[in-house]
Amino acid sequence: MPDFQLGTTDIVVVVLFVGAVLAVALWVGRRQEGTESYFLAGRTMVWPVVGFSLFATQFGGTQYLGLAGAGFETGISVWNFEWVATLVLLVFALLILPFYLQSKITTVPEFLERRYDRRARYAFSGFTVVTAMLLDSAGAMFAGSLVLSLLFPEVPLGVHIAIIALLGGGYVLVGGLKAVMVTDTIQGAVLLAAGAAIFVTVFAQFDFDWSVLPELAPEDGFTVAPPPDDDFLPWPGVFTGAIWLSFYVWVTNHMVVQRVLAAKNIDHGRWGALFAGALQLPLLIFLIFPGILGRGVYEPDEVPDSDLVWPALVFDFMPVGVRGIVVAALIFALMSTLDSVLNGAASLVVNDFVKTRGREFTERQLLMIGRLLVGLFMLVAALWAPVITTFSGIVAYFQSFLGYVTMPLVVVLLGGIFWRRASTAAGVWTLAVVPFGLVAFFAGEVFGLFDLQFLYATGIMFLLSVVVFVVVTLATEAPAKEKVEAITWSRATWLKESEDLKGTPWYGNYRVLALILGAVTLCAVVPFI
């Protein structure tokens, strides 16, 4: 493994790059006139920015390092999460996104209030804020500080956490969502380019021989369909868990959906979602394959942590100066989850709790409250981040935690959109399954009272939530037609959109683009089954 030391030139490049990106972020977000401007970028974002921001929000620096590490340790099965995300984003763009944008909602929980009632909105919003602060933001700070510790080991961990908090929270505090989405776009483009450069450079060491990849991969690691008893990602788990977790991430998680709500119109929202889906596919080549190639560069006993493989390749194969740009972009990627969570959590509190109170607030007052909340959440996350070190394996638990507790949210949202009969009581009672999932998570994953792969557990929780949702719906009164007609999908909706698309050229027809992307995805997956 290389010595993770930045030279003088690299440090200068890092400082200049970070300074330039921060300057751009502060400039584009310099004027905030109200909460819609601060939390939704004034609904003015165009599709490339929406797509890159969607990609970067969910794909922060920890996942960036984690994909290469998984490639090194287990092979390509981790790619299942990425190509499944592409297909889920197709469903989102085609069938769900219009209801979000046409109803002009400001948060995903607000949509639940319109479909069910205010109890569903409060429960969904409160859950999202708590998990965002205790897991997402604190985890992002901690992971970012660990990367900085590699580069600057003499600096205490607490100082690194403070730097990540100030860098990530500072421009959010001032510039709002527009600043976040612009920085996401810059770092997303740079990291994709860096991934491509690393792959080409390292692959050249093996004379661009594709047969090397399956030879270097771990045993049974060059397939997206590992056996059903695989500990990491069994192939049935793609259907029992990965799909539904992707629906949570891309369809119900406000921190991600907020980017689509900022689109200037439905077309830009759809194209942005499709673009984000397309960006998932090259990750097999740009990140997972370099992790596999790393097995031919480093001996297994030379790698103390598989997540260090990608940074090691950067320091070993990237020239001075370029290395500094990649490191700077990686730092911003580590902050992308943090800035998204800070702005998204403040948005939920302001729109779902403050605005719904009886008291009237001016836009200036709401903007001030939003900024105060960003600052407060930044402080809370910074104080909580070091506590994560006392919880063994908390990062590894994160995916399984989501699998256990988020399935009721997925069922309530999807059921509310695609089943007009779904009742208000069903929405509320299904959300009550969340505490049961939390108990099951601690029993199985923390205390080890039972041994069940978390993707299978996700499927069980999804099935349980569906049963509760259906039983309560059939046992209670159906909602009024006028309440749900405009916010639920129907065949008439599809036919009307078909009529609107007549005469649209193929390259502007989102259905044709979605069909092409879906076909490309399946063609890319089949060779690895």
Kindly report, residue by residue over 167-213, the tens digit of the pLDDT. 777 778 878 888 888 888 887 888 888 888 899 999 999 999 999 99
Once rounded to an integer, what is the mean pLDDT over residues 334-338? Answer: 73
How confident is residue 396, by pLDDT bands cut at 50, 70 and 90? low
Tokens of 365: 């007052």
> Higher model confidence: residue 312 or residue 164?
312
CB atoms within 10 A of CB 147: 23
The residues near 257 (Cβ < 8 Å, ≥ 6 apart) are 100, 108, 250, 251
The residues spanned by each domain of the chain are: 8-390+490-528
Phi, psi torsion values for 283, nearest 5 degrees: -65, -25
Cα 295 from chain centroid (whole Å): 28
Q: Comparing 119-128, 223-232, 358-367, which segment has the lowest mean pLDDT?
A: 358-367
> Higher model confidence: residue 393 or residue 153?
153
Q: pLDDT by residue (tens digit) across 225-284?
A: 999 998 888 999 999 999 999 999 999 999 889 999 999 999 999 999 999 999 999 999
User: Is residue 139's pLDDT more than 80?
Assistant: no
- Pairwise CA distance, residues 225 & 216, whole Å: 18
- Pairwise CA distance, residues 253 & 344, whole Å: 10
- Pairwise CA distance, residues 427 & 177, whole Å: 30
Selection from 67-71, 84-88, 492-496 with the highest mean pLDDT: 84-88
Tokens of 369: 């409250």
Phi, psi torsion values for 263, nearest 5 degrees: -65, 150
* The pLDDT of residue 60: 63
Mean pLDDT of all residues in the chain?
87
Instruction: Say if residue 322 is exposed, middle or buried (CB neighbours under 10 Å; 0-12, 13-18, 19+).
Output: middle
- Pairwise CA distance, residues 351 & 336, whole Å: 22
- Please answer whether residues 130 and 121 qualify as being in contact, where contact means their C-beta atoms are separated by less than 8 angstroms: no
Please give the full DSSP string across 384-426, using - where no structure is assigned.
Answer: HGGGGGGSTTHHHHHHHHHHHHSHHHHHHHHHHHH-TT--HHH
Q: Comparing 85-94, 196-205, 231-240, 302-311, which segment has the lowest mean pLDDT?
A: 302-311
- Pairwise CA distance, residues 518 & 93, whole Å: 12
Q: Measured on CA atoms in the order 195, 198, 200, 203, is the torsion positive or negative? A: negative
* The pLDDT of residue 1: 66
> Higher model confidence: residue 182 or residue 429?
429
Q: Comparing 11-25, 89-103, 112-126, 324-338, which segment has the lowest mean pLDDT?
A: 324-338
Alpha-carbon torsion, ordered 203, 208, 214, 216, to 10 deg: -40
Tokens of 388: 């994560």
Instruction: Say if residue 342 is exposed, middle or buried (CB neighbours under 10 Å; 0-12, 13-18, 19+).
Output: buried
- Pairwise CA distance, residues 495 & 481, whole Å: 20
How confident is residue 445, by pLDDT bands cut at 50, 70 and 90? confident
As assigned by CATH, the class of the 8-390+490-528 domain is mainly alpha
> Higher model confidence: residue 153 or residue 215?
215
E strand or H helix that includes residue 323: helix 322-349
Selection from 57-61, 68-72, 407-411 with the highest mean pLDDT: 407-411
User: Is residue 455's pLDDT more than 70?
Assistant: yes
- Pairwise CA distance, residues 98 & 270, whole Å: 8
- Pairwise CA distance, residues 78 & 224, whole Å: 8
User: Among residues of the chain, what percentage have pLDDT more than 90?
Assistant: 43
- Pairwise CA distance, residues 340 & 385, whole Å: 17
Once rounded to an integer, what is the mean pLDDT over residues 91-114? Answer: 91
* The pLDDT of residue 158: 80
- Pairwise CA distance, residues 147 & 64, whole Å: 12
Once rounded to an integer, what is the mean pLDDT over residues 388-409? Answer: 72
Alpha carbon distances (Å) from 12 to 9, 20, 86, 317, 342: 5, 12, 38, 19, 29
- Intra-chain end-to-end CA distance of the chain, in Å: 33
User: Is residue 417's pLDDT more than 50?
Assistant: yes
Tokens of 165: 């908090």
How confident is residue 148, by pLDDT bands cut at 50, 70 and 90? confident
Once rounded to an integer, what is the mean pLDDT over residues 326-350? Answer: 81
Q: pLDDT by residue (tens digit) across 9-26?
A: 888 988 888 888 888 888
Once rounded to an integer, what is the mean pLDDT over residues 415-430? Answer: 94
User: Is residue 384's pLDDT more than 90?
Assistant: no
How confident is residue 392, by pLDDT bands cut at 50, 70 and 90? very low
Q: pLDDT by residue (tens digit) across 34-69?
A: 888 888 888 889 999 999 888 887 766 667 777 888
